[in-house]
Amino acid sequence: MNILYKSPQHRIIKMQNSYELQNEATNLTFFENKVTQQKNKIVLDFNYMLKANLPINKGMTIKIKHNGVFQCVACQKTVKKLFSGFCFPCLKKKASADNCIMSPHLCHYMNGTCREPEWGENYCYKPHYVYLSYTDKFKIGITRESQIPTRWIDQGATSAKILAKVTSRHQAGVVENTMKEILADKSHWMKMLKSANTRPSNEEFNFMFDKAKNWLINLAEFKNGSLIVSTPEHIVLAKEIEFFPDSPIVEINYDSPTDIASIKSLSLDKTPEIEGKITGIKGQYLFFSNHVFNMRKHEGYITEVEVLNN
Ligand SMILES: [Zn+2]
């Protein structure tokens, strides 16, 4: 066994471009896109990068070891316990740890109760997109402009298409929440993993897309404008929901195994040392045979990473 790569101190963190095992001293690209543009559709193949020029590939043997130390993703303090990546004080005081991040329709900035109004203005009062994607089923979702296509890769979507552009996270959340009546807003992780690169045909996708769009356009709340949220007066923002009639379908291909009968989730809390051959990668998951390791769930864990090769 030769060790191709060994790092004594990596923190699993969430970067602008998805998940990264980051060495404090360097700022590495986590994934590299290969985009092939075809007629009305974009095909995306990607690699996760462990460090520059070292993609995480199917077939690679990797060891991830956690020594019980965590680092808060917000304040970067070393702590003994994390709450969704945050230390306890940050969980309670950071706007990025507030309920409205997971449920943007509950944005309370306009009530004057945003935990960090300045942060909210920079993060939430920025262009957001509402999209239709396919994971294990059709779902509606929202994302910031800068997170396309990261968000889709992260959730394991095989197809996605932008439905509308709005000027705030709150507005995107309200549209998404309204559309829950006809579409799911969450996918089931195990079903998503089992469905590999399954995707609907362009015709099926566009049929669902038109159906969802028509449903929204014909909704009374859309017609009478009550779906439009109020925004801070000192930030000049357009109020409309802008549709994208000709946005392409983005197809994302994963190096994902097919015919997996059962999948078990690995956790560094239960298994502090995980070693195995990567048999596939989909979204935020690395496959080790019938076990999967969720990168996102381990945000903030300090780990030692080794890449081993026969
Ligand atoms: Zn903290």
What pLDDT score does 309 carry?
Answer: 75
Tokens of 14: 């969430």
- Alpha carbon of 14 to ligand 1 centroid (Å): 14
| Residue 138 to residue 216: CA distance in whole angstroms | 16
In the chain, which ranges are E strands? 2-15, 18-22, 31-38, 41-51, 54-56, 61-71, 78-79, 128-134, 138-144, 159-166, 242-243, 249-253, 264-266, 273-277, 280-282, 285-288, 291-294, 301-309
User: CA 306, CA 276: separation in Å to the nearest integer?
Assistant: 11
19 vs 141, residue with greater confidence: 141
Res 19: pLDDT: 40
Average pLDDT over residues 275-295: 91
68 CA to centre of ligand 1 in angstroms: 17
The C-alpha atoms of residue 277 and residue 154 are separated, in whole angstroms, by: 21
- DSSP bridge pairs for 62: 276, 307
Q: How far is the CA of 261 from the centre of ligand 1 (A)?
A: 39
Average pLDDT score, the chain:
86
pLDDT at 117: 97
pLDDT at 53: 64
Candidate from 132-136, 208-212, 292-296 with smallest mean pLDDT: 292-296
Predicted local confidence at residue 30, as pLDDT: 47
The CB density around residue 29, as the number of other CB atoms within 10 Å, is 14
* Joined tokens for residue 195: 């469905």
Burial of 78 (0-12, 13-18, 19+ CB in 10 A): exposed
Residue 174 confidence (pLDDT):
98
Percentage of the chain modeled with pLDDT above 70: 86
**Within 10 Å of residue 302's Cβ, how many Cβ atoms?**
18
Task: Check residue 191 and give its pLDDT.
Answer: 94
Q: What is the pLDDT of residue 11?
A: 59
Q: Which residues contact 96 (CB under 8 A, 6 or more apart)?
A: 74, 119, 123
Write b or e for each residue in 201-237: b if 16 or more Cβ atoms lie within 10 A of its Cβ, otherwise e.
eeeebeebbeebbeebeebeebeeeebbbebeeeeee
In angstroms, the CA 126 to CA 237 distance is: 9
Residue 305 Cα, ligand 1 centroid: separation in angstroms?
24
Cα 6 to Cα 84: distance, rounded to the nearest angstrom: 27
**DSSP three-state, residue 282:** strand
Give this prediction's pTM: 0.88
For ligand 1, the distance from its centroid to the CA atom of residue 85, given in whole angstroms, is 9
**CB of 88 within 8 A of CB of 80?**
no
CA of residue 87 to ligand 1 center, whole Å: 4
Q: What is the pLDDT of residues 162-199, one digit of tens each?
A: 999 999 999 999 999 999 999 998 899 999 999 999 99
Q: Output the CA 247–ligand 1 centroid distance in Å.
A: 39
So what's the pLDDT on residue 23? 42
CA of 76 to the centre of ligand 1 (A): 6
pLDDT digit string, tens, across residues 25-83: 333 334 556 677 777 778 877 667 666 666 778 898 989 888 888 989 889 899 999 99
Q: Is residue 183 helix, strand or coil?
A: coil
pLDDT at 32: 59
Comparing 3 with 258, the larger pLDDT belongs to: 258
Distance CA 295, CA 148 (A): 19
- Which pLDDT band holds residue 24 (cuts at 50, 70, 90)? very low
Phi/psi of residue 301, nearest 5 degrees: -75, 130
From 6, 27, 56, 52, select the one nearest 293 (Cα to Cα).
56
For residue 136, how far is its CA from the centre of ligand 1 (angstroms)? 34
Token pair of 286 as six digits: 């690395």
Outline where 180-276 has alpha helix (H): 189-194, 202-217, 220-223
**According to the model, what pLDDT value does residue 283 have?**
87
Which residue would you say has higher pLDDT here, 118 or 7? 118
Cα-to-centroid distance, 69 and ligand 1 (Å): 14
* Residue 83 CA to ligand 1 centre (angstroms): 10
Consecutive H or E run containing 199: none
Write down how long the chain is.
310
The answer on pLDDT for 12 being more than 70 is no
pLDDT for 307 equals: 85
